[in-house]
Amino acid sequence: MNFSRSFRGWIQAVMILALGFYVLYGAFDLRRLWLIDGANLLFHEAGHIFFGVFGEVIGFWGGTWLQLLMPLAIGVAFYCQGQPYSSSVMALWFGENFFGISVYIQDARAQNLPLVGGEIHDWGYL
């Protein structure tokens, strides 16, 4: 039983390192982070809808808020359930979000990125 538990710990450590390297590798070219970006986009667009009921400005902020809030909330839930491995995966996802958000903020003036939810750039509006 101890061998099985120890082996699982090693596998989890290797997976965390692999995910960490994936995020660092993607930091140099954000197009490499396609594996996570689909979920980020989904939560970003859902955030506009969810927070949009609180007003136009909050709706624009809501995309970025929910994009950050989802991995954070899931990570806290995992941590509270005593699942540090899953919590650390969510921490990596939370941190990776800042790469994409920074590119999106930087694009606010030039507006060269393709927009999904309409013709108004969130950060250009804000």
Structural domain including 74 reads 2-125
pLDDT at 94: 95
Looking at residue 28, what is its pLDDT? 74
Say what the pLDDT of residue 20 is.
81
Is residue 100 within 8 Å of residue 115, measured between CB atoms?
no
**Assign residue 60 a region: left if phi > 0, alpha if psi is -120 to 50, beta otherwise?**
alpha
Query: Which residues, 6+ apart, have CB-to-CB distance to 51 below 8 Å?
Result: 58, 59, 61, 62, 63, 65, 66
What lies within 8 Å, CB to CB, of 11 at 6+ separation is none
pLDDT digits (tens, 9 = 90+) for 73-121: 999 999 999 999 899 889 989 998 998 899 899 998 888 888 887 788 8
Q: What per-residue confidence (pLDDT) applies to 98?
A: 92
Q: What is the mean pLDDT of the chain?
A: 87
The tally of domains found in the chain comes to 1
Q: How far apart are CA 87 and CA 111, in angstroms?
A: 35
What is the pTM (predicted TM-score) of this model? 0.79
